[in-house]
A and B are shown apart, each in its own frame.
Chain A
Amino acid sequence: MTSETGVHDATMAEQLKRRNRPFERVIVGSLFISGAISIAVTIGILWELGSESLLFFREDEVSLGKFFTSTVWQPQAGEFGIWPLILGTLLITVIALLVAVPIGLSAAIYLSEYASPRVRGFFKPVLEILVGIPTVVFGFFAITFMTPLLRSIFGESVVGFFNVLSAGIVVGLLIVPLISSLAEDAMAAVPNSLRQAAYGLGASRLEVSLRVVVPAALSGIAAGIVIGMSRAVGETMVVTLASGAAPRNFDLAADPVFGYVLNPFQGAQTMTGYIAITASGDISYDTIDYNSIFAIGLTLFLMTLGLNSLSRRIVKRYRQEYD
Chain B
Amino acid sequence: MNETPESTVLDPTAAPATADAVGGVEAADDGPGVLETRSMDVFYGDFKAVADVSMSFTFNEISALIGPSGCGKSTVLRSLNRMNDLIPTARVDGEVRYHGTNIYAGDVDPVEIRRRIGMVFQKPNPFPKSIFDNIAWGAKINGFKGSKSDMKDLVQGALEQAALWDEVKDKLTESGLSLSGGQQQRLCIARAIAVQPDVILMDEPCSALDPIATLRIEELMLELKENYSIIIVTHNMQQAARVSDRTAFFNVELDTTGQRTGHLVEFSPTDVLFTTPKEKATEDYITGRFG
Which of A's residues lie within 8 Å of B, judged by CB?
A: 116-117, 191, 193-204, 207, 211-212, 215-216, 320-323
Contact for A202 among B86, B111, B125, B188, CB less than 8 A: B111
Q: Are B191 and A196 in contact (CB under 8 A)?
A: no
Instruction: List CB contacts (< 8 Å) of B121-143 with chain A.
Output: 121, 123, 125-129, 137-138, 141-142
Contact for A201 among B86, B123, B177, B195, CB less than 8 A: B195
Which of B's residues lie within 8 Å of A, judged by CB?
A: 81, 83, 86, 88, 111-116, 118-121, 123, 125-129, 137-138, 141-142, 175, 177, 188, 191-192, 195
Alpha-carbon gap, A280 to B97, bound state (A): 76
Tell me, rounded to whole Å, the shortest Cβ–Cβ distance linking B16 to chain A: 17
Q: Are B112 and A194 in contact (CB under 8 A)?
A: no
Q: Are A116 and B88 in contact (CB under 8 A)?
A: yes
Q: Which residues of A contact B116 (CB under 8 A)?
A: 202
Q: Are B188 and A197 in contact (CB under 8 A)?
A: yes
A200's nearest neighbour on chain B, judged by CB, is B119
Q: Are A204 and B111 in contact (CB under 8 A)?
A: yes
Q: Are B83 and A202 in contact (CB under 8 A)?
A: no
Alpha-carbon gap, A164 to B119, bound state (A): 53
Contact for B111 among A191, A203, A215, CB less than 8 A: A203
A212's nearest neighbour on chain B, judged by CB, is B127
Q: Which residues of A contact B127 (CB under 8 A)?
A: 194, 197-198, 212, 216
Q: Which residues of B contact A200 (CB under 8 A)?
A: 81, 83, 114, 118-121, 192
Q: Which residues of A contact B175 (CB under 8 A)?
A: 321
Tell me, rounded to whole Å, the shortest Cβ–Cβ distance linking B173 to chain A: 15
Residue from the set A116, A191, A203, A215 with the largest chain B CB neighbour count within 10 Å? A203
Given contacts A200-B121, A201-B114, 14 further A-B contacts (CB under 8 A): A193-B123, A195-B86, A197-B121, A197-B191, A200-B118, A200-B120, A201-B115, A201-B138, A202-B112, A202-B141, A203-B141, A204-B141, A216-B127, A322-B177
Q: Which residues of A contact B88 (CB under 8 A)?
A: 116-117
B112's nearest neighbour on chain A, judged by CB, is A202
* Majority secondary structure of chain A interface residues (helix, strand, loop or mixed): helix
Q: Are A196 and B121 in contact (CB under 8 A)?
A: yes
Tell me, rounded to whole Å, the shortest Cβ–Cβ distance linking A150 to chain B: 41
Alpha-carbon gap, A215 to B112, bound state (A): 24
Tell me, rounded to whole Å, the shortest Cβ–Cβ distance linking B158 to chain A: 12
B116's nearest neighbour on chain A, judged by CB, is A202
Q: Are B191 and A201 in contact (CB under 8 A)?
A: yes
Alpha-carbon gap, A106 to B125, bound state (A): 26
Instruction: Sort A-B residue pairs by CB-CB distance and give the 10 closest, nearest first.
Output: A202-B115, A200-B119, A320-B128, A201-B138, A193-B125, A197-B125, A202-B114, A207-B141, A204-B111, A203-B141
Alpha-carbon gap, A207 to B127, bound state (A): 14
Q: Are A202 and B123 in contact (CB under 8 A)?
A: no
Alpha-carbon gap, A199 to B128, bound state (A): 16
Alpha-carbon gap, A200 to B121, bound state (A): 9
Alpha-carbon gap, A191 to B177, bound state (A): 14
Residue from the set A117, A199, A200, A322 with the largest chain B CB neighbour count within 10 Å? A200
Q: Are B137 and A211 in contact (CB under 8 A)?
A: yes
Q: Are A196 and B141 in contact (CB under 8 A)?
A: no
A204's nearest neighbour on chain B, judged by CB, is B111
Q: Which residues of B contact A201 (CB under 8 A)?
A: 114-115, 118, 137-138, 141-142, 191-192, 195
Tell me, rounded to whole Å, the shortest Cβ–Cβ distance linking B74 to chain A: 12
Tell me, rounded to whole Å, the shortest Cβ–Cβ distance linking A291 to chain B: 51
Tell me, rounded to whole Å, the shortest Cβ–Cβ distance linking B50 to chain A: 20
Q: Which residues of A contact B192 (CB under 8 A)?
A: 200-201
Q: Which residues of B contact A202 (CB under 8 A)?
A: 111-116, 138, 141-142, 195
What are 22 A-to-B residue pairs whose CB atoms are below 8 Å?
Answer: A193-B125, A194-B125, A196-B83, A198-B127, A198-B141, A200-B81, A200-B114, A201-B114, A201-B115, A201-B138, A201-B142, A201-B191, A201-B192, A202-B112, A202-B116, A202-B138, A203-B111, A204-B111, A215-B128, A321-B128, A321-B175, A323-B177
A208's nearest neighbour on chain B, judged by CB, is B141
Q: Are B177 and A321 in contact (CB under 8 A)?
A: yes
Alpha-carbon gap, A202 to B137, bound state (A): 11
Q: Which residues of B contact A197 (CB under 8 A)?
A: 121, 125-127, 188, 191
Q: Are B114 and A211 in contact (CB under 8 A)?
A: no
B120's nearest neighbour on chain A, judged by CB, is A200
B85's nearest neighbour on chain A, judged by CB, is A199
Tell me, rounded to whole Å, the shortest Cβ–Cβ distance linking B159 to chain A: 16
A216's nearest neighbour on chain B, judged by CB, is B128
Q: Are A322 and B188 in contact (CB under 8 A)?
A: no
Tell me, rounded to whole Å, the shortest Cβ–Cβ distance linking B284 to chain A: 34
Q: Which residues of A contact B111 (CB under 8 A)?
A: 202-204
A193's nearest neighbour on chain B, judged by CB, is B125
Given contact pairs A200-B81, A200-B83, A201-B114, A193 touches B121 in the complex (Cβ within 8 A): yes
Alpha-carbon gap, A199 to B121, bound state (A): 12
A191's nearest neighbour on chain B, judged by CB, is B125
A190's nearest neighbour on chain B, judged by CB, is B128
Alpha-carbon gap, A216 to B129, bound state (A): 9
Q: Which residues of A contact B142 (CB under 8 A)?
A: 201-202
B115's nearest neighbour on chain A, judged by CB, is A202
